[in-house]
Amino acid sequence: MEYHDNRKHRRHPSTIRCVEDMAFTLKQWQELPISRERDEVGCEAGISSQSCLWRLYNLYGFDISRDLTYDVMHTLALWVLKKYVHMLIKYATGNGKIKDLDGALQIVKKLSPTTL
């Protein structure tokens, strides 16, 4: 499952999904050839591949849209951290400070949570 525009969805949640609609969209997505259209349908529906959890839906009626817990706190932190790490590397590369960045990363790598 991909989480696009996580910050936007945190403030303005999308409509509640129905598992039957999700299953129908998944079937349509699978029938599309690998192309931009398939990517767009998958992005809109939150599909990146067929999860093995769909077996539980087929066997027991497991509702993927309501029976799972989404860890927004950690997902949001990963997106924000990724953005700022990319910005830091771009800044360091553009200003000739890549050696300083490498040095700082070596120091951070040596530290353990108990030494902070």
**Residue 2's pLDDT band (boundaries 50, 70, 90)?**
low
pTM: 0.45
pLDDT of residue 3: 56
pLDDT of residue 25: 86
pLDDT of residue 14: 67
Cβ atoms of 64 and 57 within 8 Å: the answer is yes
Mean pLDDT within 33-51: 82
Higher-pLDDT residue of 6 and 36 is: 36
pLDDT of residue 93: 85
**Residue 44's pLDDT band (boundaries 50, 70, 90)?**
confident
pLDDT tens digits for range 80-106: 777 888 888 888 888 888 888 888 878
